[in-house]
């Protein structure tokens, strides 16, 4: 229990101390005119109250990540607590704050456009394709996942495909309608429900006599049932993404950068939501380790149920929260991913619109971009859900890595403290490289060889940045 309490306290302290430090490094300007004020269009560029922007951003980035990812990550044991805390503060908050604020400074541009500004046109074109594909994966995952959960809750009342159809109609509406007419009305309600669910579980933890494993020398190890097939590094750092660092967040931040009335709101909206998501992930990791008796009990239960995190989340909610659990589970476990899926499609629409300079004021133009996205997503629902989820997980962390390198170049160009993003960029490069070499959906190479190849890629990426910085410094001196 002590390790868990300290983890929560460190996360909160990290927001106030490190979050303020990040804000000073960036140089948020209270008097600067934001895109929502300068480019107001009544559809995507609309000034919204800070509390609404916070809840929308939180629900946008949360999805299934801090629930499903935390449950799967808890199978590794208390090491998950350390990654959630350190990842959220020193990687996730840096990634989310700067990606959001850089978008804000560049007229609310999509992350692919921001990457292009600092890494060149080739990187921009690759990022446009990569990001849209990731967002379609996200939309598909958050289309099938919730439909499966609702189908299970309703005992096959409408079949999974019936729920898929209903969710798809909702996605179409939320993608097309002005942000202040639909999303800003529903999201705060769902966001509050998800937070209440986490608070309810937290209270149940403290009052139900549960024993949360402590971080000790004996527990700080890989506690999965088959450590050889699921090495803690890099698997844990990809399994828990949205509760620590997630590239998907950078695709959502521009949506809110277009709705902010003041630059100084960025700390609360971007860093604050990341830290809040970290707290939610901590709660779910803790209840997962305790509800089934132990970390070993969690592993056994997950294996017996085909590693179905949705089943585990439903069991935990209904049993720990009592009669209210069903309602909160429906709103928190189902609404959260749905409300991330719809903004994934909305983000994809905006990226394509930015790419081809298509004005989005008219409904017809929004439809022309959106319909093909939904057709592709529906086609992907015919694939095995597990395969889609795994590719989403890796591509998600790869995007986060690219964004961290972009932030590093941005800070270096301005002669600001680039170490705050360079260190997590190097770490995540090693994580993503080794994962694709080791993972079943990757090259399935021996661990030693995989780590060596990943180290070579990481060194090459770091050397490229150092060389780029050196060339720019020489050019500056020459001028």
Report which of 298, 187, 244, 289 is spatially closest to residue 69, judged by C-alpha positions: 244
Of 340, 334, 337, 342, the closest CA to residue 370 belongs to: 342
139 lies in some domain: yes
pLDDT above 90 for 40 = no
Is the pLDDT at 390 greater than 70? The verdict is: no
**pLDDT digit string, tens, across residues 256-267:** 999 999 999 999
- Round to whole Å and give the CA distance between 266 and 285: 28
Q: In this structure, what CATH number is given to the domain that contains residue 179?
A: 1.20.1740.10
Least confident of 102-106, 255-259, 372-376: 372-376
Q: How far is CA 349 from CA 96, 128, 140, 421, in A?
A: 21, 11, 15, 29
Look at residue 430 in the predicted model and tell me its pLDDT: 98
Indicate the range of 47-51, 181-185, 460-464 predicted with least confidence.
181-185
Residue 279 pLDDT: 95
Task: Judge whether 436 lies within some domain.
Answer: no
Q: What is residue 330's predicted lDDT score, i.e. its pLDDT?
A: 64
Residue range 182-210, pLDDT digits in tens: 666 777 777 777 788 888 888 888 888 88
Alpha helices in 106-159 (DSSP H): 111-119, 121-153
Q: Are 182 and 350 in contact (CB under 8 A)?
A: no
Residue 398 C-beta-side C-alpha neighbours within 13 Å: 17
Examine residue 249 and state whether it is found in any structural domain, yes or no: yes
Nearest by Cα to 135 from 287, 424, 349: 349
Q: Which domain holds residue 221?
A: 2-399
* Count of domains for the chain: 1
Look at residue 340 and tell me whether its pLDDT is greater than 90. Answer: no
**Helix axis angle, 79-87 to 2-26, nearest 10°:** 20
Question: Is 444 within a domain?
Answer: no
236 domain-assigned: yes
Whether 136 is covered by a domain: the verdict is: yes
- Per the domain annotation, does 339 fall within a domain? yes
Q: Helix, strand, or coil here: 220? A: coil
Token pair 């997590």: residue:
424
Calculate the average pLDDT of the chain: 87
Statement: the pTM of the whole predicted model exceeds 0.95: no
Q: Which range has the worst mean pLDDT, 15-29, 56-70, 145-159, 411-425? A: 145-159
Cβ neighbour number for residue 443 with a 10 Å cutoff: 12
Q: Is residue 462 part of a domain?
A: no
* 241 within 8 A of 95, measured Cβ to Cβ: no
């Amino acid at each position: 229990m002590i390790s868990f309490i300290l983890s929560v306290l460190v996360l909160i302290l990290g927001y106030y101390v490190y979050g303020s430090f990040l804000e000073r490094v960036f140089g948020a300007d209270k008097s600067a005119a934001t895109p929502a004020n300068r480019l107001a269009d009544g559809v995507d560029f609309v000034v919204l109250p800070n509390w609404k922007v916070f809840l929308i951003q939180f629900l946008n980035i949360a999805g299934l990540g801090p629930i499903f990812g935390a449950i799967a990550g808890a199978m590794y044991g208390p090491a998950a607590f350390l990654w959630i805390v350190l990842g959220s503060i020193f990687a996730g908050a840096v990634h989310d704050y700067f990606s959001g604020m850089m978008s804000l400074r560049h007229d609310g541009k999509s992350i692919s456009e921001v990457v292009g500004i600092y890494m060149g046109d080739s990187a921009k074109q690759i990022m446009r394709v990569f990001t849209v594909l990731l967002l379609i994966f996200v939309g598909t995952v958050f289309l099938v996942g919730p439909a499966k959960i609702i189908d299970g809750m309703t005992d096959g009342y409408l079949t999974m495909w019936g729920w898929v159809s209903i969710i798809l109609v909702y996605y179409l509406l939320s993608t097309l309608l002005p942000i202040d007419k639909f999303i800003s009305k529903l999201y705060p309600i769902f966001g509050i429900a998800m937070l209440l669910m986490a608070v309810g579980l937290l209270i149940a933890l403290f009052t139900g006599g549960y024993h949360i494993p402590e971080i000790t020398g004996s527990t700080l190890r890989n506690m999965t049932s088959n450590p050889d097939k699921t090495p803690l590094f890099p698997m844990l750092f990809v399994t828990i993404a949205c509760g620590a660092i997630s590239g998907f967040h950078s695709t959502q931040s521009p949506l809110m950068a277009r709705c902010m009335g003041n630059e100084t709101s960025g700390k609360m909206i971007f860093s604050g939501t990341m830290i809040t998501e970290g707290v939610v992930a901590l709660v779910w990791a803790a209840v997962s380790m305790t509800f089934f008796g132990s970390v070993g009990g969690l592993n056994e239960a997950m294996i017996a149920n085909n590693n179905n995190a949705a089943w585990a989340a439903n069991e935990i909610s209904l049993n720990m929260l009592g009669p209210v659990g069903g309602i909160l589970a429906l709103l928190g476990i189902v609404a959260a991913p749905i409300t991330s899926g719809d903004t994934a499609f909305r983000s994809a629409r905006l990226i394509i619109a930015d790419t081809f300079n298509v004005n989005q004021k008219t409904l017809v133009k929004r439809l022309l971009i959106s319909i093909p996205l939904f057709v592709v997503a529906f086609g992907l629902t015919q694939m095995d859900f597990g395969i889609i989820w795994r590719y989403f997980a890796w591509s998600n962390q790869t995007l986060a890595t690219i964004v961290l390198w972009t932030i590093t170049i941005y800070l270096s160009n301005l002669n600001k403290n680039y170490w705050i993003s360079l260190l997590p960029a190097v770490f995540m490069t090693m994580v993503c490289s080794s994962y694709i070499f080791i993972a079943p959906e990757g090259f399935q190479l021996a661990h030693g060889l995989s780590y060596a190849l990943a180290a070579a890629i990481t060194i090459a990426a770091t050397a490229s940045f150092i060389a780029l910085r050196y060339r720019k410094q020489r050019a500056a001196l020459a001028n």
